[in-house]
Amino acid sequence: MAMVAMRFSGVGGAAWGSERGWAAAMVKARGCPYPPSSRPPPLELRLHSFRTRIIAAFVAVNLVIVALFGGIVSLSLSKRLRDRLDSELIAIARAQLGPGVVWAEGRLHAPVALPTRVVHHPGRMIAVVNDGGGVVDRAGPHPEVPLPAFATTLDFVAQHHPDLHTARFGGELYRFVVYPLPGPLGLEGAIVVGGSLEPVTSLLPRVFQLALWAGGIAALVAGLLGWLLARSVVAPVEELARTARQIGEHNLEVRMPTLAGRDELATLTVSLNRMLDRLAHSLELQRRFLSDASHEIRTPLTILRGNLEVTLRRERPAAEYRACLETLAGEVDHLERLAQQLLFLARADAAGVELHAEEVEVDEWATRVAERHRPAVAAAGGHLTIDAMSGAWASLDPARMQQLLDNLLANACRFTPQGGEVRVATRPDGAGVSIAVEDDGPGVPETAREAIFRRFFRGDDARNRAHGGSGLGLAIGREIARAHGGEVWVEAAPGGGARFVVRLPG
């Protein structure tokens, strides 16, 4: 595995070196004054940049707002001017009847006689029309132009309400009011008053032109404000991007600049820095894992190679060959166990520990597993005590949990001195159950009680000076316990040894 890792690093380094050389060659060949990483972005990218989109959005939104405002103002002003002209025309029509006429809610209170003379008003066309459509009297502009058809055809004129019309008159657009005059036997005639709409129609282009000017100024102001906002927003993002480009596999100590405030960018910066911390930690663990795994594999391989070389130097008796083969078989077994442990951890990291859980009576199960280790404890000069009194049932994978308990019992047997005792106990623990394995060995220092569950950990204490192992058993045990929703930890035993406790939910 070490050779594979070195070859991988060599290939990656070569590829990286060739990539840098290729980039330098391209810069030299093209005569570009910028290296690929610092070259200014092309115009197309700048036009599609976030800053450009912010400015364009500001300008577009302001132009839409100005256009809508200008349209609403123009329509409102046009309606108001037209309503004012209608009111004026109606007032002029009423004034033709004189001051003695009584009005009630805009209507004539009693029939009136048809006026024979009109009262002149500057700029307004006034005419009196009888019930036959003939013009009795007329004054105002364009006297040569005949009245519109609706002013002389009174069949469609309401008897009590004025009719309002818009029509061309004398080459201009006019607004007309036809005011009916009821008589004792029906409609006597009508008063027709017209006024030019030129003041209204000529004002709208001026309002539109003013809106264009206002829109242009607003667009400039919006563009400036958008540029200032984009600068304040994008500048930190660009700084983050520049910093991110400096971060690489071999340069993970670089961190994003800390931004003042509590806005989204500051939160993003904190989150990215925490992510980089976790990534650096993970890579460091990976490097350490590969280094430790390479060391663990190299040791038995060295032993295998050394024994083979020494054995093959000369002819030997069959007993010596047999002893060498037994040594080689032991190292092969060690390599096989190590490979299985590494495979288990790799699968646990990728997809978690696969469990086949079933309901198990904990006391009976723990007793059966512990009894399997009684001969090994006795052979090491110790004594095994089982105290299973939990009375609990638990949902667990018997095979995986046996793997965990086997490892704890093997460790306890390994570190228990001559005449010592290995104790296995089960107890109810709240809604769950705990399984404890104690020994009379040197114990685990408090500073190493968490570290011993790390992969390939070996301390310098008495538990490790005389005993080896792969350093993976406890790490695998913790993965199994956590996969069951439980936990495993170590504490000092009452007698001074180590007490490993596995807690499982009920």
- Is residue 354 classed exposed, middle or buried when 0-12, 13-18 and 19+ CB atoms within 10 A define those classes? exposed
Please state the three-class secondary structure of 21-76 as a single string: HHHHHHHHHHCCCCCCCCCCCCHHHHHCCHHHHHHHHHHHHHHHHHHHHHHHHHHH
| Residue 269 pLDDT grade (very low, low, confident, very high; cuts 50, 70, 90) | confident
- Is the confidence at residue 125, as pLDDT, over 90? yes
Q: What are 194's two structure tokens? A: 């017209």
Residue 360 — very low, low, confident or very high, per pLDDT cuts 50/70/90? very high
Cβ(281)–Cβ(250) below 8 Å: no
pLDDT beyond 70 at 486:
yes
Does 9 have pLDDT greater than 90? Answer: no
Query: Who's near 239: CB < 8 A, 6+ residues apart?
Result: 257
Residue 182 has pLDDT above 50, yes or no: yes
pLDDT at 420: 92
Given pLDDT bands bounded at 50, 70 and 90, which one contains residue 14? very low
Domains and CATH numbers, the chain: 103-199 (3.30.450), 267-349 (1.10.287.130), 355-504 (3.30.565.10)
Average pLDDT for residues 261-271, to the nearest whole number?
Answer: 78
For residue 448, the 8-state DSSP code is G
| Token pair 């480009």 in the structure block, residue | 245
**What does the angle CA 212 – CA 218 – CA 223 come to, to the nearest 5 degrees?**
125
pLDDT of residue 105: 55
Where is mean pLDDT largest: 9-23, 93-107, 273-287?
A: 273-287
Q: What is the mean pLDDT of the chain?
A: 79
pLDDT confidence bin for 103, thresholds 50/70/90: low
Residue 22 has pLDDT above 50, yes or no: no
15-29, 38-52, 156-170, 326-340: which is most confident = 326-340
Assessment of whether the complete model's pTM goes beyond 0.85: no
For 119, the enclosing helix (H) or strand (E) is none
Residue 294 has pLDDT above 50, yes or no: yes
Give the whole-number percent of the chain exceeding pLDDT 90. 28
Least confident of 118-122, 349-353, 402-406, 422-426: 349-353
- Say whether pLDDT at 371 is over 90: yes
CA 261 to chain centroid: 20
**If you average pLDDT over residues 120-138, what whole number do you get?**
89
